[in-house]
Amino acid sequence: MTNAPHRPRRSCLYMPASNARALEKAKTLPADTIIFDLEDAVAPDAKEVAREQACAALQSGEYGERELVVRINAMDTPWFAQDLKQACFSQADAVLVPKILSAQDIIEITDFMEDQDASLDTQLWAMIEMPQAILNLGEIAALGPQKRLTSFVMGFNDLAKEMRADHDHAIFAPVMVQAVIAARAYGLNIIDSVYNDFNDPDGLTTACLEAKKLGFDGKSLIHPAQIETANRSFAPHADEIAEARAIIAAFKDSINAGKGVIVVDGKMTELLHLKQAKQLVATAEAIAALES
Ligand code: COA
Ligand code: MG
């Protein structure tokens, strides 16, 4: 499942890797992706313990089909080199690097990974949370999978702090559009930022549905109580799946053979809609496989 196309990333749960109880609990939580955090959620004195616990957890083989990611400390910190070195051999599916500023950062990280002989299966994910990264979205995304870069993860708590902006994430709608465009231009996945109020399921549902509408694959989460909402919100709905299957069936019908545009359920339907329909069904099937 790990590198399969359409792999679900509806729910990407952060957990402080210093918190042994959370590490244990995550083995049974229905999050598509687990992000072992060594950065913001870990106090300076706990950095080494968190790194050791994260690596042991990643190598344990006890997290089933969940995608496993480790968020290391930023490049300008004293922990970065050792974090990345150990992450390269941790069997993580991806290393998530915070505070990325430019394409040059990605190149330096990838070169470091090559020097370590990191497995080619270990991908690089970039946090988009600095004003410089927003200005450089296109050049960062353009490096793409040939530099191991496969996902953007938005970080609006840090971006708000850097901008001295309000913490109301609704103000970031234009940035979200730009980031999705940059990611999709180069075939990257993209995960929305966190919703801080984990006791507000209605607010979280609204945030998830807005992100889904913009094209995001899923949402970063901070608490187990948020997982079901994200999984439900980002999964294709039954009526969307039925509509997609109807489009696929209509194009297969011999009376539509060779046609580029047909009418399905009263609506103009072109080959681009067929492609979209196939993608949606593949996503729904990947979710069903993960949940079975
Ligand atoms: N991942 C896994 N398990 C988690 C978890 C997480 N992110 N957050 C809480 N839990 C567990 C707790 O360990 C507790 O388990 P238990 O029932 O076995 O004791 C249970 O879920 C209920 O937790 P709760 O008491 O409601 O939360 P809390 O008050 O202990 O913690 C936070 C609240 C916000 C501190 C905590 O959820 C957290 O650390 N979240 C992640 C923060 C983070 O990683 N930030 C970086 C990215 S922004
Ligand atoms: Mg941060």
Q: pTM for the whole thing?
A: 0.95
Q: Which residue of 222, 226, 228 sits with most ligand 1 atoms within 8 Å of its CB, as the best mutation to test the pocket?
A: 222
Q: Minimum-distance ligand to the CA of 38?
A: 1
Per-residue pLDDT of the chain (292 residues; tens, 9 = 90+): 555 668 999 999 999 999 999 999 999 999 999 999 999 999 999 999 999 999 999 999 999 999 999 999 999 999 999 999 999 999 999 999 999 999 999 999 999 999 999 999 999 999 999 999 999 999 999 999 999 999 999 999 999 999 999 988 889 999 999 999 999 999 999 999 999 999 999 999 999 999 999 999 999 999 999 999 999 999 999 999 999 999 999 999 999 999 999 999 999 999 999 999 999 999 999 999 988 8
CA of 15 to the centre of ligand 1 (A): 7
pLDDT tens digits, residue range 165-213?
998 888 999 999 999 999 999 999 999 999 999 999 999 999 999 999 9
Q: Between the CA of residue 13 and those of 109, 124, 179, what are the distances in Å? A: 24, 17, 21
For the 11-234 domain, the top CATH level (class) is alpha beta
AA identity, residue 221: L
Domain ranges within the chain, ordered by starting residue:
11-234, 238-291
Q: How many helices (H) and strands (E) does the chain have?
A: 12, 10
Per 3-state DSSP, the chain is made up of helix, strand and coil in percentages (nearest 5) of 50, 15, 30
pLDDT tens digits, residue range 144-177?
999 999 999 999 999 999 999 998 888 999 999 9
Q: Is 21 in the pocket of ligand 1 (CB under 6 A)?
A: yes
Upper half-sphere CA count for residue 237 (Cβ side, 13 Å): 7
For ligand 1, atom 13, name the residue with the nearest CA: 22
What is the DSSP code (8-state) at residue 196?
S
AA identity, residue 282: A
pLDDT value, residue 167? 83
For ligand 1, atom 3, name the residue with the nearest CA: 22
pLDDT value, residue 168? 85
Atom nearest to 34 CA in ligand 1: 1
Closest CA to 204 of 216, 214, 194, 217: 194
What DSSP string describes 71-83?
Answer: E---TTSTTHHHH
Closest CA to 98 of 143, 35, 165: 35
